[in-house]
Structure 1
Amino acid sequence: MIYPPGVERFRVGGKKEEFFLFVTELVPYKKADLVVAALTRLGLPLVVVGDGPQFEECRRLAGKNVEFLGYQDDATVADLMFRARALVFAAEEDFGIVPVEAQACGTLVIAYGKGGVEDTIVPATGDNWEVATGLFFHEQSVEALEAAVKQFLAWEGRFRPEVLRRNAERFGRERFRREIVAFVAAKWRESLTGVRS
């Protein structure tokens, strides 16, 4: 798989604020309702960016600690990612650029541990701080997400923004360019020789 580039416009550094961030279209498979319910139960500040058919349902589930911003432009999302305490990502995606963008800002990702995040996030184990960039929960349930958030709170000071940024840089323009060139060259050779690389 050739991953899309997505890190150059983001910055890292500075003090994180208290809020957790959720950025996505509010459709069922993205599990916005799960994230809103879990953070509401925990009473932790959550900022939700995005719009969609589940917007009103999520607002009904939300406590006073949840703020809905609706659709926001790229610059606003980048600023929120830079300032967020952590990004929550609850969907199973083939890739998922949002967790990579958060890491490029030095922002840890709490993610459902299936799909593309298995390639883009290095989950913390309690002794791998030199590479850890996030935490996984392995069941799309309020309880599983709550447990992951609580684990994050216990380990929060151990994550290193520069490690998250370095991991995200694996998905930069240079890698994308190199892999696209190699892919096209291989396909060109195949077309000339009839032999797959």
Structure 2
Amino acid sequence: QEMKDKISTFTDVPVDYIVESLDAPSLFDVPLSYQEQGVDQKVVDFLHIDSPKPVADMDEWRRMDERAKNLKYKTKITLVGKYVELEDAYISVTDALQHAGYLYNSKIEVEKIQAEDITEDNVAELLKDTQGLIVPGGFGIRGLDGMITSIKYAREHDIPFLGICLGMQMASVEFARNVLHLEDANSA
């Protein structure tokens, strides 16, 4: 309370509108912490909103938070990309996978493989344990053969596949070359 009083004094913000943003074990705990401090009601009051239900219903959020902390299953997804050495290059994809995993009670393990490292000789070993393949976007010709090789392996072995941008283009090229026998098929 002493810290809130000090902040209020120096910011001219009423002490009732100062909330703590504490470290939390999970990102999902942060909104719950805010609700426990009455942030939803404070916003409604501050904006003079006449709301029949001013307090947010966080029951589903709490259930998701519990699921995220107690996942029952594991799912291995392989991401074949051109920029896997950059930690955040595919962060939107990996975060989306994690969130989908929470919904399906599964811890998603994402293995990133450099597209250039995949060949016909090693693709079976590299993808043998995967339960799904994602080939995201990219630019330029580097790694295209590895993408096509991994997509072909997924198609032939009934591995669920998601191609995003360049990944979907390479899926079209793979299908054209290996199923339709259009050997010169490419993406320009």
TM-score category of the 2 structures, normalised to the smaller one:
0.3 to 0.5
If asked which structure has higher relative contact order (CA below 8 Å, sep 6+), I would say 1
TM-score normalised by the chain length of structure 2: 0.36
Select the structure of larger CA radius of gyration.
2
TM-score normalised by the chain length of structure 1: 0.34
